[in-house]
Structure 1
Amino acid sequence: MPETTTLSGAALPTAAGAPAGHTVVEPAVPLLSVDHLTVTAFSPDHDGEVTLVDDVSFHLGRGETFGIVGESGSGKSMTCRSVLGILPAGVHTAPGSAVSFDGTDLLGLSDKQWMSLRGTRIAAVFQDPGSYLNPSMTVGAQLVEVLRIKGGLKRRQARERALELFGDIGLRNPTAVFRQYPFELSGGMLQRVLIAIAISGDPDLLIADEATTALDVTVQAEVLDLLAELQERTGLALVVVSHDLAVVAQVCERVMVMQSGVVVESGPTKEVLHDPQHSYTRELMRAHAEYGLERWDEERP
């Protein structure tokens, strides 16, 4: 029998990777369910398959914020790419893995089915915004194109909506930004443009995979505040992926810590930071204390 923790009178199975002492919090009706996800790849160096993600499980409800933290190679990005259906060539999910979104089996979708889902109901923002934008097109034209293809808007409607979105994500003088090319914008402005593109389809789920890593500390805080504001205003579910506990601490209600493809700890963010159970989590906290975890801990209600 799995160990259980009582929460609000209901006995819930302890989540994988959640050691005794952390409250188990599961949404009543999950929007996203990841169960026993295992991701493998062929490695000629090992003369066979290697495991990149090993038996990872977590659930996310509508409007929740969830953090996945770990160093490079911990499996956090592969976990998210499995959810997004964009695993690299030669990498695949193993039998027994299950990923569902609002009742839809994501692992069984065809490319055509993914096209209608990704960018509309499920969206993502990644680390290097410049590599996801066409350098030969203005950022306004690129957003208009997405709105016309994904949203079915006429050109004038798409332009009006694009300007509205640029204003919503905090770009000063949206009309001027609309006419600029990616190379004319700062890293923080480019990331805001990508966020505008990501939310243009009014998604239910937004995955921010290392979206603030390349930004300086001040701009990073501004982008995190923007994501939190969008989540609160629109009610979207938000997954924040980072190597930095201070990043997920700023915006996430719950956190999952990964090491070498395995979940080593999970639970409410405040509990994990107050009382880390795993030596790897404690090491991450020591390594990133200088980035503000202690101040966050003092200010968090």
Structure 2
Amino acid sequence: MQYSVAIVILNWNGWEYTQSCIASLLEAGYSEGDLIIVDNASTDGSIPNIKSHFPKAHLIQNAKNEGFTGGNNRGIQYALTKGYAYVLLLNNDTQVLPGFLEFLIEEMKISGDLAAIQPLIYFMGDKDEIWNAGGNYHAWLGYSQTNYQIQSDQPYLTEWISGCAILVRSTVLEKIGLLDHNYFAYFEDVDWSLRMRSQGFELKVHPKSIIYHEAGAASKSKTKGRQGFLDPKVHFLNVRNQVFQLRKYCIGPKQWLAWPFHFAKFSLFIFYFTLKGRHSKSKAVMKGIWEGLKTPLRASK
């Protein structure tokens, strides 16, 4: 069955993942012509491989790494100019099961207030373990929490959905705008979800739509170094973007709980990393706090 859906896949030095992801899409019957592959200035030979293996896909080549937000925004903008009714953002380190998109589309058709919907996401390495089943947002703490349990055997409401795989209505994008480019990566999906819900839209998870995710493919080292598996930049982005969230959403009475909660958490991070001798990570957390406080916030659209 054919739908007006553009599938945006972001690649950054991840040709092998991208190839496997697209192979699973094609095996499931989806059209190569509806693929929009955005490359974030890869240096691993991704570009010639993408061109030779998937010539019908539309390839966007960024001159620099624009992150998850900037890269995906390029793909979304192109999809909107082509008049697609829906845009699916799909991480390149995923593999899909046949029918996953049909489940999402059918729910979109019957739920007029539904802005976006995600599949049930399992770990690639352990296909019985759930990586993401939607999430809760605790407004008074400014804290987003991932669900690891299916909430229902039918499509169910959630407070935020994962950018790993998210189907969005194009008409909603015209109202709430693109991903916030300030974020670069991490927590941008929570921000997007909150913006959608603030406009009265709903978000859902469809438990019958299933994909698998190689979690951390772009952020984790395969071997543990002195600083651990995660690059300090990941901690910088996580902390900075959480401060962005506080500034955006935890205002008025909420700030008296949310800000102390987060700064206590950040202090524990600094203490732990210092204790472990991971000074680059301690500095990354402190830099994240500073940058999060001083960076001008962008308008929602």
Q: Per the shorter chain, which TM-score range?
A: under 0.3
Q: TM-score, normalised by structure 1?
A: 0.26
Relative contact order, higher structure (CA 8 A, sep 6+): 1
